[in-house]
Amino acid sequence: MEHRPDLHLRDRARNGVQDTQMRQAIQKAVDRLSSNKAKAAQELGNWDAWREQGKRIRKHTIENLDYYLAQLAENVRKSGGFVHFVPTAAEARQVVLDICKKHNAKMVIKSKSMVSEEIHLNPALEHAGIEAVETDLAEYILQLAGEPPSHIIVPAIHKNRRQIAELFSKVAGHPVESDTPSLTAFARKILRKKFLTADVGITGCNFAVAQTGSVTLVTNEGNARLTTSLPKVLISIMGMERIVPTFEDLEVLLTLLPRSATGQKLTSYVSVINKTRNVDEKDGAKEFHLLILDNGRSRMLEDDEFRQALHCIRCGACFNVCPVYRQIGGHAYASVYGGPIGSVITPLLLNDLDFWGELAYASSLCAACSSSCPVKIPLHDLLLALRHRRAEAGYTPFLEKTAFNLWRRFFKLPAAYKFAMKMASIGQKPFVTNGFIKAGPPPLSNWTNSRYFPALPGETFRDRWREKQ
């Protein structure tokens, strides 16, 4: 499916629904992730108590964010690192470019970082003549394909092995087999050389620990370890909410995160970066920079209704259970943060209820997302609240507003309502087969193109009520 952030949600969703290969790949993957998660949660026991504890930690941290950010910055500086508070994406890009220029960097290696996607870092680096190489396997695949991630945990979830083999074959100049060992061996061979020659390493941050000034990275491929230990300069970029007060709190969130994300008890690698390299050490960065990004988060922090969206620990569990995500795929959201949580935070981060506020409608409000969230964010309530806010701001389409106004009038006038129902019941007759409208005229065809519409019954509730009387 083509990535088209310029289209409206309705058109992006239509494109997604028509991409059968993508839908099959996603459905297979999210089914596996969801069942792994259910098993891991059951094995741990007391899952709801763990979730409650996670919620408490996130709530406390976000309510005292100014205190913990100051503590984090102080401890990073004490360990010899540099801290940059960056208000916008543009300023974040500029800080990274300045550091790279200061060190005359020609190539940077990156471990997976959604926040670097949020600030559009790669195009800025390339524009400045600096090669940016993604080292997470899925991110590397997407970089070759020229596509953005479609899931926050499994960025290339929409691709199958055959498509990946085709991409790798183009780079190799000869056919690469599509079995997993061949694909990973090929990526490893290419990326090893990049690790050894890169000037700067760039990472995201799963959680920064305020108590010690540590940056924690949770990965399965070991690429974050190479990214943080081989280049002489290391830059970590974090959203300002990605912080925990202490290692005890980190333990709770690291119990919830991998289980919710992939069903693992622990990811293969949990790296904690505490300080720059000692003089007698052979590896590790000599210079460390931590970028703490705002980019709309302060606005969310001030908003009593939506502050809790900052509790998110980016586990992706809400994507995996969302019936809408399964059908339309991640690119239909057109935001780096898709799925239910992306539908909430994208309009808020971008401060745009008009175009991006449409994402609040990419939900059936079934509440599966809220039930799956390890820190108990009531996502479906937030999506509904966002719809209210958008409607109050006057962004409801004219046709929808008119339709609901007419509906309200019919409800107020029993005779008019009855008449309208009678007319609709007669008018639908040419389209009804076995109690369903299978191919309706526009605008009903928007519905019947993908599913049947139940026909109005010949006898209304009012008729039956009168008969019973």
Residues in touch with ligand SF4 (CB under 6 A): 260, 312-318, 341, 372-375, 377, 379
C-alpha to C-alpha distance for 12 and 5, rounded to whole angstroms: 8
Residue among 16 and 316 whose Cβ is closer to ligand SF4: 316
In the complex, what is the shortest distance from the CB of residue 283 to ligand SF4, in angstroms, rounded to a whole number?
33
Residue among 226 and 321 whose Cβ is closer to ligand SF4: 321
Residue among 55 and 389 whose Cβ is closer to ligand SF4: 55
In the complex, what is the shortest distance from the CB of residue 395 to ligand SF4, in angstroms, rounded to a whole number?
24
Buried-state track 119-141, b at ≥16 Cβ within 10 A, e below 16: bebbebbeeeebbbbbbbbbbbb
Six token digits for residue 458: 């010949």
In the complex, what is the shortest distance from the CB of residue 314 to ligand SF4, in angstroms, rounded to a whole number?
5
Residue among 234 and 341 whose Cβ is closer to ligand SF4: 341
In the complex, what is the shortest distance from the CB of residue 382 to ligand SF4, in angstroms, rounded to a whole number?
9
State CA 110 to chain mean position distance: 19
Residue among 200 and 383 whose Cβ is closer to ligand SF4: 383
Residue among 72 and 318 whose Cβ is closer to ligand SF4: 318
In the complex, what is the shortest distance from the CB of residue 85 to ligand SF4, in angstroms, rounded to a whole number?
24
In the complex, what is the shortest distance from the CB of residue 412 to ligand SF4, in angstroms, rounded to a whole number?
40
C-alpha to C-alpha distance for 366 and 353, rounded to whole angstroms: 22
In the complex, what is the shortest distance from the CB of residue 336 to ligand SF4, in angstroms, rounded to a whole number?
13
C-alpha to C-alpha distance for 254 and 266, rounded to whole angstroms: 7
Residue among 219 and 308 whose Cβ is closer to ligand SF4: 308
In the complex, what is the shortest distance from the CB of residue 448 to ligand SF4, in angstroms, rounded to a whole number?
32
Six token digits for residue 373: 């969230």
Residue among 105 and 313 whose Cβ is closer to ligand SF4: 313
